[in-house]
Amino acid sequence: MAETLTAALTLKDIARQAGVSLATVDRVLHNRPGVRPDTVRRVREAIERNSFQPHVAAAELARGRARRFAFVMPSGPNPFMQQIEDYLGEMSAWLSSRRLSVEMVATDVFDPSVLAGTLEGLSDDYDGIAMVALDHPGVRAAIDDLVDAGTKVVTLVSDVPSSRRHHYVGIDNIAAGRTAGALVGRLVGQKPGKVAIVAGSRGLRDHAERIFGFNQVMASEFAGLSVLPVLEGRDEDARSEQVLARLLSRHADIVGLYNVGAGTQGVATALSDAGRDKQVVFVGHDVTALTRRLLLQGVMDAAISQNPGHEARAAVRVLLALARGEPILREQEKIRIDIVMRDNLP
Amino acid sequence: MAETLTAALTLKDIARQAGVSLATVDRVLHNRPGVRPDTVRRVREAIERNSFQPHVAAAELARGRARRFAFVMPSGPNPFMQQIEDYLGEMSAWLSSRRLSVEMVATDVFDPSVLAGTLEGLSDDYDGIAMVALDHPGVRAAIDDLVDAGTKVVTLVSDVPSSRRHHYVGIDNIAAGRTAGALVGRLVGQKPGKVAIVAGSRGLRDHAERIFGFNQVMASEFAGLSVLPVLEGRDEDARSEQVLARLLSRHADIVGLYNVGAGTQGVATALSDAGRDKQVVFVGHDVTALTRRLLLQGVMDAAISQNPGHEARAAVRVLLALARGEPILREQEKIRIDIVMRDNLP
DNA sequence: CTCAAAATGAGTTGCGCACCTCAAAACACC
DNA sequence: GGTGTTTTGAGGTGCGCAACTCATTTTGAG
């Protein structure tokens, strides 16, 4: 246990060791011009050698101006997004005691040109941006422009992997689909039969990925179950109910159901009205007031969830770490695929 | 969106508003003596009125001395505890850039008098302590002494609810047991039969609670399954294997198995040797290299997990917030009961 | 060698607060 | 009224760094 106490070095110590002045160390640390490459190397070495870390409190204090972050979210009512906003609200004391400001920017994230237009002016106003974004060339270009302007960008829930965004905060949707598939298969048991899928639209990247993962598992491991063609409910209750009701009436041997997106209320209603809510294994996404109730009632059997509170906080922490040049705790910021059943409801 | 920019008030502003000097505000803020009750009230009101938050970076910088935390953990090899240590190691950059020191203190947490003795001297050396503690009167008294001395105390993994510890970082073990029960019951399906339980010891609080929750669910919802008396494996592989092997040979109709604690290798071996690893639904705890392999092989069907990385980080964050007098983000620090199956392995 | 440009040293200021001292004022009590 | 005690004001210092200014030295091109 003879660990030497972390010496609490300061910039001054580094300057002395490197044989330069404080100003030069400061220039190196902030990549400012006016330092010979050889000198840069010497300073970097001194920093490495002592594994020196600038005192974040001192740095933050000296900065003066506060950092401003924006969350670009879909306009219109959406319980999941609403939860993210709520959790940000709960952080307000945490944020203000760090002189951080977080603002919400609502826009039509489903229209690439509208979204790209919204993003355009933002880099002047904000140090960092978290966004729920569509994967589209126009959006990709807008993101890259933000990055070039020095703004930190993280994608939230839905990724744009082809862009140069700094980080993605969300789940692996293929794995989520696989998990849903395994749950449906296992919970159905030995019983052979058909499995239905209700999605918002096959065009949404995350939905497509989930369906892909789901089918993967069904095909490879549950030969007794045959998957019916995907129904498109457009994430709306009325339409989801309608298309599912028709399917149920045509197939008496449906034993499993995977609801990929929203429209959960409609799906549940169709099941109940057909009097088959107890026989069909029903797996969906996200823990909301509704899915919570359906789980407790036994209508839903499991929900695949990405913790929205975690996502909101992770996005803020990642933006902050990026802005400060701190390393990101990858393990901490990774969003896990939660399986939520009645007894481990959060 | 006409939200007025958070005014970034300072102590000086509060002093002016309350009509007192900086020194008096400082006294109120730190509960130092020498201020008339009426004046205290005026200052408090000014703080409330502006919902003023001291700038944590400035406070931290002005403090000077670093904060020291200790993790009191069981000595001897224990993969779960090892993981917590590893995750703390991954935080080292984060810690040192905040001038925080975290030290590990190994002790025999299962011997109340040894543990109490270890805790005794610690309050002089540390500002905060996270501990894996037994629920025992002697330990409770030692914890209360620490709290009285001004040290912040959080219990980790295993709680001592009767003590005055400031916070518990860990899961609700009854709910964990219920979740395990629901999983075994659901995954077994319609098949009737018997269910075995292997625990470390019925004397451990967390094991007892898990068994309680498990039995609760089995009794109320899976009438077709009968639970056999609990086997005690002392968390050792050899003994767990031995007792389970004997049980398997006596009961040909075992369809489910709940392994409450460690000794997982022994349990798996017993199952495999009996050639029944595919027929018996096997649910256990924690994601380790071993359980990961068993899940992938299909020997284990699900693992109930409490994210050790999250627990380590949450303990540090809670200690820090307590030491600074900041509010705790309860939602963030809550440890969830994760259901881990093959497809959502983290 | 000369001169401009680049690199560097030296120094200052201020961020917002904790923590300290010392003196002055207000107060309580007899 | 005097005495001792409590409360308050005023002020200073320093934490470690960012972000500047300005003077000086070094470098390279011609």
B167 close contact with A: CB closer than 8 A: no
pLDDT tens for A26-71 read: 888 888 777 777 778 888 888 888 888 889 999 998 887 889 999 9
In the stretch 297-316 of chain A, residues with CB closer than 8 A to chain B read 301, 307, 309-310, 313
- CA B285: distance to chain centroid? 14
Q: Which residues face B67 on adjacent strands?
A: B100
SS (H, E, C) B96-158: HCCCEEEEEEEECCCCHHHHHHHHHCHHHHCCEEEECCCCCHHHHHHHHHHHHCCCEEEEECC
Mean of per-residue pLDDT scores for chain B = 90
Rg (CA), chain A: 25
Tell me if the pTM is above 0.85: yes
Rg (CA), chain B: 25
**Strand C proximal to B22 Cβ, under 7 A:** yes
Size of interface A-B (CB pairs under 8 A): 151
Instruction: Find out whether B151 and B122 touch, Cβ atoms under 8 Å.
Output: yes
Q: Which residue is nearest to nucleotide D14 (CA to C1')?
A: B62
Identify which has the larger pLDDT, B189 or B204.
B189
Identify which has the larger pLDDT, B217 or B11.
B217
Instruction: Find out whether A108 and A75 touch, Cβ atoms under 8 Å.
Output: yes
- CA B96: distance to chain centroid? 23
Number of residues written out for chain A: 346
- d(CA A312, CA A316) in angstroms, rounded, equals 6
**Same CATH topology for A61-169+308-334 and A173-305?**
yes
pLDDT tens for B55-85 read: 999 999 888 788 999 999 888 777 778 888 9
Of A118-127, B236-245, B257-266, minimum mean pLDDT range: A118-127
CATH no. of A173-305: 3.40.50.2300
Q: How far is A62 from chain B (nearest CA, A)?
A: 9
Provide the pLDDT confidence category of residue B3 given band limits of 50, 70 and 90.
very low
**Burial class of B274 by CB neighbour count within 10 A (0 to 12, 13 to 18, 19+):** middle
Highest mean pLDDT of the ranges A200-204, A272-276, B21-25? A272-276
Three-state DSSP at B239 gives helix
State percent of chain B over pLDDT 70: 97
Judging by DSSP bridges, how do beta strands A302-305 and A338-340 pair with one another? antiparallel
Instruction: Find out whether A170 and A158 touch, Cβ atoms under 8 Å.
Output: yes
CA distances from A2 to A5, A6, A321, B126 (A): 9, 12, 32, 16
User: Helices B289-297 & B264-273, crossing angle to 10 degrees?
Assistant: 30
Chain B residue with minimum CA distance to A324? B97
Q: Which residue is nearest to nucleotide D18 (CA to C1')?
A: A62
Q: Which residues face A194 on adjacent strands?
A: A226, A254
Q: Give the model's pLDDT for residue B40.
A: 83
pLDDT tens for B148-191 read: 988 999 999 888 999 999 999 999 999 999 999 999 999 998 88
Q: How far is B52 from chain A (nearest CA, A)?
A: 8
Judging by DSSP bridges, how do beta strands B338-340 and B302-305 pair with one another? antiparallel
- Residue ranges of alpha helices (H) inside chain A are 11-18, 22-29, 37-49, 56-63, 79-90, 92-96, 112-120, 122-125, 137-148, 173-188, 205-221, 237-250, 264-273, 289-297, 308-324, 330-333
Provide the pLDDT confidence category of residue A340 given band limits of 50, 70 and 90.
very high
Q: Give the model's pLDDT for residue A271.
A: 95
CA dihedral B335, B341, B343, B346 (to 10 degrees): 30
Q: Which residues contact A252 (CB under 8 A, 6 or more apart)?
A: none
Nearest to B55 among A93, A97, A342 (CB): A97
Angle, vertex CA B153, rays to CA B152 and CA B155, nearest 5: 160
Three-state DSSP at B300 gives coil
Distance separating the N- and C-terminal Cα atoms of chain B: 40
Please give the DSSP secondary-structure letter assigned to residue A158: S
* Whether A96 and B53 lie within 8 Å, measured CB to CB: yes
Q: Which residues contact A11 (CB under 8 A, 6 or more apart)?
A: A22, A25, A26, A29, A54
Number of residues written out for chain B: 346
Cβ neighbour number for residue A153 with a 10 Å cutoff: 29
Q: Give the model's pLDDT for residue A163.
A: 94
- d(CA A244, CA B217) in angstroms, rounded, equals 32
Q: Which residue is nearest to nucleotide C21 (CA to C1')?
A: B23
Q: Is A61-169+308-334 in CATH node 3.40.50.2300?
A: yes
pLDDT tens for A138-162 read: 999 999 999 998 899 999 988 899 9
Nearest to B57 among A57, A101, A341 (CB): A57
Domain borders along chain B are 11-49, 61-169+308-334, 173-305
Residue A7 has pLDDT above 90, yes or no: no
Instruction: Identify residue A274 by its one-letter amino acid code.
Output: A
Of A305-319, B16-30, B60-74, minimum mean pLDDT range: B16-30
Residue to substitute from A10, A222, A343, interface B, most B β-carbons within 10 A: A343
Q: Give the model's pLDDT for residue B203.
A: 65
Q: Which H or E run contains B49?
A: helix B37-49
